[in-house]
Amino acid sequence: MTCSFQVLGKPVGKGRPRFSTVNGYVRPYTPTKTVEFENLVRIAWMNAGFEKMDGMLSVGIDAYFPIPTSYSKKKQAALEGADYDKKPDVDNICKSVLDALNGIAYDDDKQVVSVVIRKMYSATPRTDIVIAQKGD
């Protein structure tokens, strides 16, 4: 079984936990941008209507980042589909996507045995995600 879906908007990597003090106690929290992106991933999975997957899984993530509007039209056209070498790191994007799908696409992300991730420029920022059961 293979499930493929898309999350519109700029991809966001997993942010480091932040800390605040409430009534003298330190409380960790996840940055807002990370929480919002993970919610978008969950909503996209649920809207796609897939069932929870079991067994060993393979995940493919294509993260498309916006081309700067300050670039000339010629340079913008040349960058479409080109590799993106800026932040966030691929491991942080992967962590963000896998954590978001934990418990809804699969029971635990320990089921994921292989991941392929790419970062590219595109006029339409988005994240394309493919999850396949190993052996398919």
pLDDT in tens, 75-107: 999 999 999 999 999 999 999 999 999 999 999
Which strands make up the sheet holding 112-122, listed edge to edge? 2-8, 126-133, 57-66, 112-122
Given this model, what pLDDT does residue 136 score? Answer: 57
Are 2 and 131 in contact, with CB atoms under 8 Å apart?
Answer: yes
Q: Is the pLDDT at 1 greater than 90, yes or no?
A: no
Q: Quick one: CA torsion of 85, 120, 58, 98, rounded to 10 degrees?
A: 70
Q: What are the beta bridge partners of residue 127?
A: 7, 63
CATH number for domain 2-133, candidates 3.90.550.10, 3.40.630.30, 3.40.190.10, 3.30.1330.70? 3.30.1330.70
Residues 55 and 106: their CA atoms lie apart, in Å, by 9
Residues 71 and 16: their CA atoms lie apart, in Å, by 31
Given this model, what pLDDT does residue 125 score? Answer: 97
Question: What residue type is assigned to position 61 of the chain?
Answer: I
Q: Is the pLDDT at 66 greater than 80, yes or no?
A: yes
- Cα Rg of the chain (Å, integer): 17
Tens of pLDDT, residue by residue over 2-44, are 999 999 999 999 998 899 998 889 999 889 999 999 999 999 9
Which is nearest to 102 in space by CA: 93, 111, 90? Answer: 111
